[in-house]
Each structure stands twice: as C-alpha cells, then as structure tokens.
Amino acid sequence: MPSQLDFGHAPETIQIWKRLASEALKAGASTPFYLFAVDPVRERLSALEALDFGLPVTHWLSTKTQPVAPLLRWWREAGRPVEVVSEFEYHAARAEGFATDSILINGPAKHLWLPSLAEAGMRVNFDSAGELEALLPLARDLGWRCGLRICTREEFDPEHSTFATQFGFTPDEAREVLPGLLRNGPVPEVLHLHLRTNVSRAGIYAAALTEALALARETGWQPRVVDLGGGLPHAHTTGRDGKAFDTGMDLPDLAAQIRRILGAHPFVEELWLENGRFVTASSGILVLKVLDRKQRRGLRQLICNGGRTMNALVSNWEQHRLEPLEERLGEGVETVVHGPTCMAWDQIARQPLPSDLSPGDHLVWFEAGAYHLAWETRFSHGLAAVWWHDEKGLQEARGADSFERWWGGWNRTTPDRSA
C-alpha cells in the first residue's frame, strides 16, 4: 500500500481504500464491515517522531482508541508499549504478548480491579486519593513505577466548560499526598496530564504543563517523566459546523513550546505521548450497503445496514467524508444516509450524493479508525465484521456476529416460580 494512504483525501488515496473495500467484498466480506490498515498508523507515528521535543519521546498506543488485535500485535512486534484504562484492555494487552513493563495503566477506579492482577514492576498512574490509598501497599511491596495524573485548569468537561472533568488529582489534592510519597515512597516518577480529545491549540498544552510543573516545584517533586497524554486533533474531520478540528493546531509550534518548558526543568528526562485519534483515525473505513431508498419532504433517504447507532457514534458531532464505492455519475441530490435501527437519530451523514445510487450499492465512510469500533453497539443487530490490511495482505480479523453470539450470552435456565 503506498505511503500516501494516510495524508489528505487525494484521489489516489480514496481509490486505494475503495480498491481494498472491493477486494474484501470479493473475498466474502459481509456488510457492514470495518476495514483497518497499518500503513496510515505508521505514517502518522512518523509525523510525530519527526517533531523535536528536546527529550527522548515514548509513544504509547492508546488501546481504547482502536482495540483491534492485529494492531496490537503489529505494535508489539515493533517494540512499542501500550496504554490501557480498564481490566479488559489490560487482559487484551497481556493476551497479545506485552510484558508487564510495556503496559501503562491509566484510568479511574483501578483499585477495584487491579489488586487481583497485581504483579511486580507494573506501571501505574494514580487517578485519585482513594485509589492511591487502596493501592499504595501493593505499589510499595511490588515495586511499581508510579505517576500522578494532575487535573489542571485546562482540563474541563467539553460539554460544560465551566466544570472540571472527573479525572486526576486537583492541585490541592496533589499537595496533600505528595509529601507522604516523597518521604515514604514510592516517589512518583511520572507527571501525567490528559486534557481531552481534539485539543485545538498548542498553547493549551503549554499552559497545562506550566501549571503542573509549577505545582511540582512548589512541593519539591521532581518527576523524571512528563506524560502529556493524547488529544491531538486529526485532520480531515470537522464539527457539525463544518470547521476542521485541527485548524488551530501547529505541531512544530507544539514541539517548540513543550521543548522550551521542559528545558527549564532539567529533572525531566523523558516525554511520553498517548495520542490515539491522531495516530489511528485515518487508518480505517466503514463500508455500508444500501438497503432501501425513500423520499421525504424534499430529501432523498438511503437506508443502509450500518449507521450511527451501531457503528459510528461520533457522527453525532463529527462530519466525515462519505462516498459511493461503485462509480455513480448521477447528479448530486441532497441525501440523508440512515442506519437500519428504529431510531430517528440513526443518520450518519446529510450531503449531496449521486441520484443513481440504488439498493445494493455500497457507501464508504472515511476516518473510521478512532473510537468507532470501541463504541460499536448491538442495537437490534450483531457486531460488524472487521478486516485488516498489512504487509501480509488483506484478511478478515473478526467475523460478523451470528445470532448465536448475539443472543447466546443469556442464561438458558428459567427460575422455578411455582414455589
């Protein structure tokens, strides 16, 4: 696959994806299906590695962003580590062969599942005082390499910007726990920040990092590592207002600002990044089949076998490129593309599409590599098939749900209510 697959929506890039989708259909793929490819991941990672942050950088794969087994295998074979935020993700990382010290454990409420899995040498970023209190004995006994997540003023609820998120230690909470940790251990080696998704400007990262490092200096804490989390916006997706999420983000400027700030704190020796969306968004597509065609109040409506409710939750607030797979030359008419569920909310796009689209045709929804599979549902239907492309070619990585898999998890015994 040519290296230009990731960058932009050049005609040749679109045709590569369409060719792969057609090959999957010829190989027996059932729609809807996701198709992921490794080349765009490699390209986006290379773009980050080309930046000069002034320190060694470790890139952790955000497992939650694209929980696809072949991607984890490829990442591990490349000698890279993963970041997990749940018990299931931790088990997935171990199942794919990641060593204990190649897994970074983040996320809230870890104290409710991590003790049963505890082992020596774990890497754990603590999220709250309660979590720290519960896990501290294990951390000391097993020699965990620990960090603290700090909730700075730059971290807020994206739907209600006056409120903070639920993650991490507030500065006051950090001031309470750090003296004991610095005195009795384990001394946290990682200062962790994770602001949100689609951070719009480099200066937002800089302000958060400046605030967190000021807290470190105030308390006498000298973290060896700064974990800047993720949140870099991906190109080629827009909000519902049509504005691209990455319009204000200048990556060389980001690197320059972080380099300047870290340069003033010589105790920081390493930078960690956990960018999921930026690395994986362009590495996937969703392929749908048109099932029916309707006309309502001046709009043409296409009913497809996949959509927002099942496969593309982020289409509620993001717009992605969508194109017919087969060549159609009809005049563009305003069209709403719906999924098959009984939800009026189930619409993946509203845009002009060729007038000669008909039932049996296919549509390709681009930039489906980040979060879509993780948020997939079984709303009235089973999970979609997943196809994968890498150096070895194209293969089905996961079959579509059968009815037995969809319904088979229920207990088959009926309680005796006659007593």
- Is 19 within a domain? no
The number of angstroms, rounded, from the C-alpha of 10 to the middle of its chain's C-alpha atoms is 24
Question: 256 and 288 in one domain?
Answer: no
Structural domain boundaries enclosing 275: 39-281
- For 357, the token pair is 């689209």
- Is 1 within a domain? no
- The pLDDT score that the predictor gives to residue 235 is 85
pTM, full prediction: 0.94
DSSP secondary-structure letter at 8?
Answer: T
- The pLDDT score that the predictor gives to residue 419 is 55
pLDDT at 5 over 60: no
Contact 7, 42 (CB under 8 A): no
Q: Helix 69-77 crosses helix 87-95 at what angle (to 10 degrees)? A: 60
Of 281, 303, 319, which one is at a domain's C-terminal end? 281
pLDDT at 326 over 80: yes
Question: 333 and 253 in one domain?
Answer: no
pLDDT at 418 over 90: no
Of 281, 309, 337, which one is at a domain's C-terminal end? 281
pLDDT tens per residue, range 344-354: 999 999 999 99
Q: Span 220-239, mean pLDDT?
A: 95
State the CATH number of the domain containing residue 249. Answer: 3.20.20.10
Question: 176 and 275 in one domain?
Answer: yes
pLDDT tens per residue, range 16-34: 999 999 999 999 999 999 9
Question: 238 and 121 in one domain?
Answer: yes
Tell me how many domains the chain contains.
2
- The pLDDT score that the predictor gives to residue 413 is 78
Question: 276 and 370 in one domain?
Answer: no
Q: Span 304-323, mean pLDDT?
A: 96
Question: 354 and 330 in one domain?
Answer: yes
Give the model's confidence band at 210: pLDDT under 50 very low, under 70 low, under 90 confident, else very high: very high
- The pLDDT score that the predictor gives to residue 415 is 64
pLDDT at 170 over 70: yes
Element holding 171 (H helix, E strand): helix 171-184
Question: 309 and 262 in one domain?
Answer: no
Question: 296 and 172 in one domain?
Answer: no
Q: Span 364-381, mean pLDDT?
A: 96
Question: 207 and 85 in one domain?
Answer: yes
Contact 286, 306 (CB under 8 A): yes
Q: Are strands 347-354 and 332-338 parallel, antiparallel or unpaired?
A: antiparallel
pLDDT tens per residue, range 116-135: 999 999 999 999 999 999 99
pLDDT at 1 over 70: no
pLDDT at 173 over 80: yes
- Is 29 within a domain? no
State the CATH number of the domain containing residue 322. Answer: 2.40.37.10
pLDDT at 311 over 70: yes
List, in order, residues 6 or more apart from 391 with CB less than 8 Å away: 38
Of 233, 250, 281, which one is at a domain's C-terminal end? 281
The average confidence (pLDDT) of the chain is 95
| Separation of alpha carbons 48 and 71, rounded Å | 18
Which is more confident, 13 or 216?
Answer: 216
pLDDT tens per residue, range 387-413: 999 999 999 999 999 999 999 999 987
Question: 324 and 310 in one domain?
Answer: yes
Q: Span 85-105, mean pLDDT?
A: 98
